[in-house]
Amino acid sequence: MEESLPPELPLDLLAEILSRCDPRTVVRFGTACKLLWRHVSDPALRARLRARLPAADRFLLGLLYQHSSPAPLFAAPSSSGSRHLPNGVASSMSAALMDRHEPVASRGGLVVLRSWERPLELAVCDPAAGRGGFLPPCDVHPDAYALLLPQDYDDGDAGAGGSDVDPRFELLVMDMDEGIRTQTFSSVSRAWGPVVSDAATGGGVRIPYGYRQVQPTTTVVIGGVAYWLYRGGLFAPPPPTRHSYRVLALDVATGHATWTEVPERCHKLRRMPLVGGSNEPKELLLVPYSPPPSPPSKKKVGLLVSELMAISMWVLDDDDGGTTWAKHVVVDRERVLGQVQHCLYGPLALAVRAMELESVAERSGTVVMQMHGVGIFLLNLQTLQVHQLQTSLHVKSFARYPFCVYELDLISLIPSK
């Protein structure tokens, strides 16, 4: 008796099954044969995955350390997500993070690299797509960086990094030695634009004496405006409460800059690093935030504050010209401590250790926090879930190395037609 073959699944049912899988499963499924590969590469499937998948299953986060040590760490935004970096991306990442270069900014799947030595070299790479290259020399000495993507102007959801999305980008570099001077590189023209001085636009903004940028690798970009957080009072006598904070906003198109004062009521309860803190206190962090019930695409400037008993969120209200701060979210510190899985200290020692706010992953809405001697924690701003990042390295080694956060959209690994 001749053996009968099992019936084939209808294409619409096959597409429905694939749309309910995670991106890694979809990629493995497509490698079975050419027919399945064509179905997997359908743009409609990627659109359905983007609409359905939560951030915990869609993105993979990478902590890219400067000075080539320690090695990059990768993690899912939630404890249930996979932390395995695809082999192709791992090879591309290793080639991009060369010995003479260090990551200084990352956004939308792109990584900006800077040389350690003179002459200054800048490069932009996309590890997921395996492309990138060095930029021509700029005419300013960069003190800060901002990556701008197509969705910064058209409210799209696609990032710049990945094989199936718009690869265009702009890189703004800012020189703060004599006032504020900026220059912008365009991936379309493959050239730098003219140097723009804030003084020439009528602003005349300068960095006040004693002010220093907080978390230099973290830049918030909303609607073509780049934001950086600065802390003042570095050379003032104690007590530490004399420190003040300001937000620098720079319109990328015009080069015009403005200062916004952070009222003391926003940070008066901040937790000073009494034990185990770094040399640069990180009690405040600027983040892009969508206050409920606003859609994720409608973001405002948010300010996270690490307080004694909680982590609070202040949002800059742009309805009145961007001068009013309102409190929106509070995350209890006990929620963070409840996730501690590996620790050398008892409850009393944990209670006095500083929780420092390191950086933010924009598209997944994940904040990277660090408690020295304990580990690194990830906080999702939408779900308020917290989990501890597991690593084989000794947790104390992290404190010495700054890093930037790289976000890999796993859907971008699915082939496109």
Rounded mean pLDDT, 123-140: 87
Calpha distance 105→407 (Å, rounded) = 11
CATH of 54-410, one of 2.40.37.10, 3.40.50.2020, 2.30.30.100, 2.120.10.30: 2.120.10.30
Calpha distance 22→33 (Å, rounded) = 19
* Tokens 């009690």 belong to residue: 283
Instruction: Supply the pLDDT for residue 163.
Output: 42
Kindly indicate the confidence band of residue 91, based on its pLDDT and cuts at 50, 70 and 90: low
Supply the Cα-derived Rg of the chain in whole angstroms: 22
Calpha distance 321→223 (Å, rounded) = 14
Instruction: Supply the pLDDT for residue 394.
Output: 46
Calpha distance 353→373 (Å, rounded) = 9
Write the CB contacts of 248 (distance below 8 Å, at least 6 apart in sequence): 205, 207, 227, 228, 229, 230, 257, 258, 259
Calpha distance 125→97 (Å, rounded) = 10
- The lowest-confidence range among 128-132, 181-185, 196-200, 298-302 is 196-200
Q: Which is it for the CA torsion 81, 334, 286, 233, positive or negative?
A: negative
Helix (H) or strand (E) run with residue 144 in it? strand 144-148
Backbone angles phi, psi at 124, to 5 degrees: -125, 125
Q: Is the pLDDT of residue 417 over 70?
A: no
- Most confident of the following: 14-23, 98-107, 135-144, 386-395: 135-144
Instruction: Supply the pLDDT for residue 347.
Output: 55
Calpha distance 405→303 (Å, rounded) = 18
Calpha distance 128→104 (Å, rounded) = 18
Calpha distance 363→169 (Å, rounded) = 16
Instruction: Supply the pLDDT for residue 50.
Output: 83
Kindly indicate the confidence band of residue 236, based on its pLDDT and cuts at 50, 70 and 90: low
Strand partners, 133: 124
Kindly indicate the confidence band of residue 7, based on its pLDDT and cuts at 50, 70 and 90: low
Calpha distance 211→151 (Å, rounded) = 32
pTM attached to this predicted model: 0.84
Report DSSP letters for 79-130, one per residue.
TTS--PPPHHHHHHHHHHS-TTEEEEEEETTEEEEEESSSSP-EEEEETTTT
| Residue ranges per structural domain of the chain | 8-53, 54-410
The pLDDT > 70 percentage for the chain reads 71
47 or 116: which leads in pLDDT = 47
E strands, 284-402, in order = 284-289, 300-306, 310-317, 324-332, 355-361, 366-371, 375-380, 386-389
DSSP state at residue 195: -
Instruction: Supply the pLDDT for residue 162.
Output: 45
Strand partners, 212: 231
Q: Is the pLDDT of residue 217 over 80?
A: yes
3-state helix, strand, coil split of the chain in percent (to 5) is 20, 35, 45
Instruction: Supply the pLDDT for residue 158.
Output: 44
Give start and end residues of each alpha helix (H) in 20-66: 23-30, 34-40, 43-52, 55-58
DSSP state at residue 56: H
Closest CA to 41 of 163, 168, 167: 163
Closest CA to 286 of 387, 186, 216, 372: 216
Q: Is the pLDDT of residue 332 over 90?
A: no
Closest CA to 252 of 185, 318, 189, 302: 185
Calpha distance 59→54 (Å, rounded) = 9
**What rounded mean pLDDT belongs to the chain?**
77
Q: Which two tokens stand for residue 10?
A: 């209808």
Residues 376-412 have pLDDT tens digits of 888 888 888 888 775 444 444 454 567 888 888 888 8
- Supply the angle between the helices 11-19 and 43-52 in degrees, to the nearest 10: 40
Instruction: Supply the pLDDT for residue 159.
Output: 46
270 or 284: which leads in pLDDT = 284
Instruction: Supply the pLDDT for residue 85.
Output: 61
Helix (H) or strand (E) run with residue 13 in it? helix 11-19
